[in-house]
Structures are given as C-alpha cells and as structure tokens.
C-alpha cells in the first residue's frame, strides 16, 4: 500500500534518517531527503537510493533553522513528487555543556533545528494531507523526550517539546485520516552520538571508554546500542494500515531505558 506514496525525510543523508529513507524506498515510496550542505556527496546519497530501489529520490540542502528554506523544501517536494504523504521530522543536532557554560547560540540552534523545524514542516504539509484524507507525521524524538540527562539542557528541552507537539497535532488531525507519532530511540550508534562523546568526555572528565560504557550504555538495560534499521522498521510500520489507530504516541526503542 506504500508503493507510489511520497515522503519527506529531514536529516536523511546519514544515520537514522538515511535508514528511514532507505526503508521507505524499499517499499516503493518516492522521497525528498534533506541534509546539511549542497554537496556532491549528499546528491549522490539521493541518486544511489533512486538507482537501488527504482524510485524518485531528490535532495534538498534546506537549512532547517530557516523557515524560508523549509518552505522551499516543501515546494520542491510538491513539484518533484506530486505532494507529500509522509513527513519524517528527523533532523537534529546536539551540544553538551553545563547550563552556566552553555552558549546561547547553541541553545537557539538546537531548539530551531530539533523542535521549531518540525512545526514549520508540519504546518506546511498538513493542509494537503487533509485534502487527501491520509497522512503520516513521524517525529524522531528520543528517550530524552521522557527523561533527562545532565549537560543536555537544550536537547532535552527540544525533545520534550517535540513529544508535546506530536500529541497536539495528533488530536488536531484525528478525524482526517492522519496520524502523528514519535519514535524515541535510546542511544543509537550514529554520527550524532559519536560526535557528542568528546563533549561528554570534557563535561564529565571521563575517558572515551567510560563515556560509552558508563554513560551511554549505562542507561540501556540491554547494554546494546539501538540500530538504525530497528528505528526504520518502526517508521515503515507506522505508515501501514495496521498502524492507522496508533496516533499521539511515543514509541520507545531504548533497550528498556525509560522503563526504569
């Protein structure tokens, strides 16, 4: 039932976003993927998906902190794909520091990209989803949508906000054939997690091994990193008819982290 449908996936040139995009393409969905930088490498990611799965896949370098560029991205999807059936708000950045040392510009950037961008993308695609009587909005949140960790004030605030936003949208579109849900992974081995290790080492005065074993995997009772493919599988499921009455939820994929 997903073949021929169209999706926007933000933050989709690597990590979770790329896995979701590939999962959608495997089901025959056409795509617009967004990522940092108008680079040959990013355009190649889209071209490779298109070639491997025989779907349309276009790349947008829209900056998720700039509403005008987000609007341009949605316009490109409408022109290239004939509309948007599925929106995955996945783009995210991270910075780790004690609150008194947290640079205000980092706070602003994290809130803009991790939270406000989801608002702008959603407000632009909901009208056409309502017209079609079908749509899926999937927000990549985090275990940090439910619990906090030290030194991540902006990220935790953004992810808590994203879950609240998701619930609100789910209620607003409940009778329009549209669902809105969060997927909340625990620690997934992605560039975002890998890049925050040095910051956490500095903030907590720990070694790399201590950060991985005593901070990251300490939070997950399974003692395993979540895989990007596991997250992608849930995103695909949420687009099926079997999930049409799953809305306003926060689906934890965190190895038991938030069960404690």
Q: Mind listing the pLDDT tens digit for each residue in 54-113?
A: 999 999 999 999 999 999 999 999 999 999 999 999 999 999 999 999 999 999 999 999
Report pLDDT for 260.
82
Question: Helix (H, G, I), strand (E, B), or coil: what is residue 145?
Answer: helix
Instruction: Give me the sign of the Cα torsion angle 162, 166, 167, 171.
Output: positive
pTM: 0.94
- Examine the pLDDT at 208 and tell me if it is beyond 90: yes
* DSSP 8-class letter at 102: -
Of 223 and 137, more confident = 137
Q: Indicate the CATH number of 6-187+227-252 among 3.40.50.970, 3.90.70.10, 3.40.50.720, 3.40.50.1000.
A: 3.40.50.720
Q: What kind and span of H or E run contains 251?
A: strand 250-253
Residues facing residue 219 across a β-bridge? none
Burial, 206: exposed, middle or buried (Cβ in 10 Å; 0-12, 13-18, 19+)?
A: middle
Report whether pLDDT(191) > 80.
Answer: no
For residue 159, give both structure tokens.
């992810």
Cα gap 76→102, rounded to integer Å:
36
pLDDT tier, 1 (very low <50, low <70, confident <90, very high otherwise): confident
User: Where along the chain do its domains lie?
Assistant: 6-187+227-252
State the DSSP H helix or E strand holding residue 204, giving kind and residue range, or none if neither: helix 191-204
Give the model's pLDDT for residue 199. Answer: 85
132-173 pLDDT, tens per residue?
999 999 999 999 999 999 999 999 999 999 999 999 999 999
Q: Is 166 within 8 Å of 141 (Cβ atoms)?
A: yes
Residues designated as active site: 155
Under 8 Å CB-to-CB from 1, ≥6 apart: which residues?
Answer: 240, 241
Phi/psi of residue 251, each to 5°? Answer: -90, 110
């Amino acid at each position: 039932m997903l073949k021929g449908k169209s999706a926007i996936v933000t933050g989709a040139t690597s990590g979770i976003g790329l896995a979701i995009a590939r999962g959608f393409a495997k089901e025959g969905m056409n795509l617009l993927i967004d990522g940092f930088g108008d680079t040959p490498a990013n355009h190649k990611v889209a071209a490779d998906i298109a070639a491997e799965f025989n779907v349309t896949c276009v790349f947008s370098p829209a900056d998720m902190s700039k509403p005008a560029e987000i609007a341009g991205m949605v316009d490109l999807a409408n022109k290239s794909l004939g509309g948007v059936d599925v929106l995955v708000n996945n783009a995210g950045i991270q910075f780790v520091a004690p609150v008194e040392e947290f640079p205000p510009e980092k706070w602003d950037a994290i809130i803009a990209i991790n939270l406000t961008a989801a608002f702008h993308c959603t407000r632009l695609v909901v009208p056409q989803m309502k017209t079609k009587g079908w749509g899926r909005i999937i927000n990549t949140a985090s275990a940090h949508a439910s619990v906090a960790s030290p030194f991540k004030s902006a990220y935790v605030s953004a992810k808590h906000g994203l879950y609240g936003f998701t619930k609100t949208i789910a209620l607003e579109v409940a009778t329009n054939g549209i669902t809105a849900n969060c997927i909340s992974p625990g620690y997934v081995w992605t560039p975002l997690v890998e890049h925050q290790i040095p910051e956490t080492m500095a903030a907590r005065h720990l070694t790399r091994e201590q950060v991985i074993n005593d901070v990251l995997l300490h939070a997950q009772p399974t003692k395993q990193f979540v895989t990007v493919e596991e997250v992608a599988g849930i995103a695909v499921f949420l687009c099926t008819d079997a999930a049409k009455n799953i809305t306003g939820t926060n689906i934890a994929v965190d190895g038991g982290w938030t069960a404690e």
